[in-house]
Structure 1
C-alpha cells in the first residue's frame, strides 16, 4: 500500500488525480492559455484595456501555472491502490530458490 511518503515524483505525476483537483488543474491551464493569448494579441500591436494587460502579464499566468502544477501533484491514493491491486492480480510472485 502506497502512502504520501513512499511515492516518487514521476509516480505522483502519473497517478490518478482527485476530481476536484482535476477541475482546478483544468482551470489553471485555461487561465495560463488565456493569458498567453492576450500577450500574443498585444504583441501584434492591438491595444487592450490596461486592466486586461496587467492581469494577463502577472496574475493570470502565474496563478494558472501554480494551480495546474499543485493540482497535478495531488494523488488519489484510493484509486492508485486499487489500480495497483488490479495490475498485480495476474502476477504470481516467484519463490526464491536458495
Structure 2
C-alpha cells in the first residue's frame, strides 16, 4: 500500500500528464452524456458510459506512472 501512495505522489512524466488530462476530459464528457437532463437514445447513453469508464481508467493508469531517475526508465 505504501508503494501505491508513493507512486501517486511521485512526479509523472510529461507525456503521461497530457494523456491523463485527455482521460479526465473523456471522463467528464462521458459523465455529462450519461447524466444529461434530456432523454437521449439508449446507444448514446451506453457509449457515454463506456467513454466515462475509459477516461477514468486512462487517468488512473497515467497517474500511477513514474520515472526511475537513476535508469531513466518509465515504470
Common topology (TM > 0.5): yes
Question: Can you give the 5+ residue segments of structure 1 that lack an aligned partner in the other structure?
Answer: 1-6, 79-98
Q: How many residues align?
A: 69
Q: TM-score, normalised by structure 1?
A: 0.61
Bigger-Rg structure (1/2): 1
Computed over aligned residues only, the root mean square deviation of the Cα atoms, in angstroms, reads 2.0
Q: Could you tell me which runs of 5 or more consecutive residues in structure 2 were left unpaired when the two chains were aligned.
A: 70-75
In structure 1, what is the equivalent of residue 39 of structure 2? 47
Provide the rounded CA distance (Å) in 2 between the counterparts of 1:52 and 1:18.
Answer: 34
- Structure 1 stretches of 4+ with a deviation exceeding 2 A read 47-52
Higher strand share: 2
